[in-house]
Structure 1
Amino acid sequence: MAQLIHTTICSVDGYISDASGSFDWAAPDREVHAFVNDLERGVGTYLLGRRLYETMVYWETAPTDDPESDVEHDFARIWRAADKVVYSRTLEGVSSRRTTLERDFDPGAVTRLVASADRDVSIGGAGLAGEAFRAGIVDELQLLVVPAVVGGGTRALPDGLRLDLEFLESRRFAGGTTYTRYAVRR
């Protein structure tokens, strides 16, 4: 059975971007990127907010012929093979294949999508994921925490959100990033 999973990379103090909107401090090293690729292999559909889509659409046309960046090529292939749904009231259109644009987030429609999916569904973008958490439809939370404190910016999880989580697994990477996976208890 497919699950709705939120995976995010954040700072130790819980931000996905800093106060200036930068997230260069969160760029995964080769080891972490390869691990993320393995996580993403099970995803059949990405649900994305506009800002995350505008960042991730790079992978639609990223070059895949440089042998020095095999983990990046691998991720580009994973991205291109998945369906994408972008939620935005302001985006005029999408530029990637296998992508649809939705104006409004409908938790019931997402629940039906996940129930009918044969592969996991990933939800990303702080605002969109926050809506899904508040609706009680997220099954798993996967956090990659980088060894940085940025002091402000866009929070990985919304203020006021209360979740009871069940620890599933964790891992530490050589560069100091940690991965923790939780089931959301309902």
Structure 2
Amino acid sequence: MRKVVAAINLTIDGFCDHTAGIADEEIHDHYTALLNNSDVILYGRTTYELMQFWQTLLEKPSGEQSMDDFAKVIDRIPKIIFSTTLKDTGWATATLADEPLKETVLKLKQQSGGDILIGCRSLIDALANLNLIDEYQLCIHPVIIGKGLPLFDQINERTVFKLLKTKIFGAGATLLYYQRA
């Protein structure tokens, strides 16, 4: 059975903001490897539209190897988008979900293959409430922003976790790997 991995970047004060983190070469390399070991990533519309930035680097590479490598991998991996408003993804490897989130994830888990990544705070909250996340990879950046979108703001009940391992990046970000206790 495939593993569902929630992987997301956060500030120290618990907010999800893609512009607040310290996205250096080491972080890009880590997420490139994570994508290479996975077979699909699930996004909501807002996060998906933010990730479309990486398409621009395919047409006009940045010259920064780690960013350009990440752009190639994010382009390759299949993406399933959950949206009620988006009509077309505009990305050859992205499709709109044709079933509800729970049913989609349960079907994907039954298939063979690599990990199923969840890279969107709203989907992480929804799947956490359904107890369908096998591993959480929370990358905490050494930044406080004081406002924004908190990760776990729609959780229905208290959940206890077991820390599996940690990884510390040179610029000070810390990756915490958790599973439900």
Whether TM-score is above 0.5 comes out as yes
Conserved? CA contact 1:43–1:119, under 8 Å:
yes
Conserved? CA contact 2:80–2:96, under 8 Å:
yes
Q: Which residue of 1 aligns with 2:111?
A: 116
Q: Which whole-Å deviations, capped at 9, do the CAs of 1:134-153 have from their partners, x for residues lacking one?
A: 11101110011011111121
Residue 58 in structure 1 maps to residue 53 in structure 2 = yes
Gaps of at least 5 residues in structure 1 are 18-22
Task: For residue 183 of structure 1, report the CA deviation from its aligned partner.
Answer: 1.8
Task: For residue 116 of structure 1, report the CA deviation from its aligned partner.
Answer: 0.4
Moved more, 118-127 or 66-75: 66-75
Q: Which residue of 2 aligns with 1:20?
A: none
Distance 1:36 1:72 in 2: 10
Distance 2:121 2:61 in 1: 32
Gaps of at least 5 residues in structure 2 are none
Distance 2:143 2:114 in 1: 33
Matches within 5 A, 1:12-27: 12-17=12-17, 23-27=18-22
Distance 1:104 1:74 in 2: 31
Residue 167 in structure 1 maps to residue 158 in structure 2 = no
Task: For residue 66 of structure 1, report the CA deviation from its aligned partner.
Answer: 4.6
Percent of aligned pairs sharing the same letter: 24
Matches within 5 A, 1:25-174: 25-63=20-58, 66=61, 68-102=63-97, 105-160=100-155, 161-174=157-170
Conserved? CA contact 1:88–1:103, under 8 Å:
no
Conserved? CA contact 1:46–1:83, under 8 Å:
yes
Q: Which residue of 2 aligns with 1:4?
A: 4
How many residues matched?
180
Q: Which secondary structure does the structure 1 equivalent of 2:164 belong to?
A: strand
* Cα-Cα RMSD: 1.9
Q: Which whole-Å deviations, capped at 9, do the CAs of 1:11-66 have from their partners, x for residues lacking one?
A: 0010012xxxxx42214111221122122211110110001100112223423775
Q: Which secondary structure does the structure 2 equivalent of 1:68 belong to?
A: coil
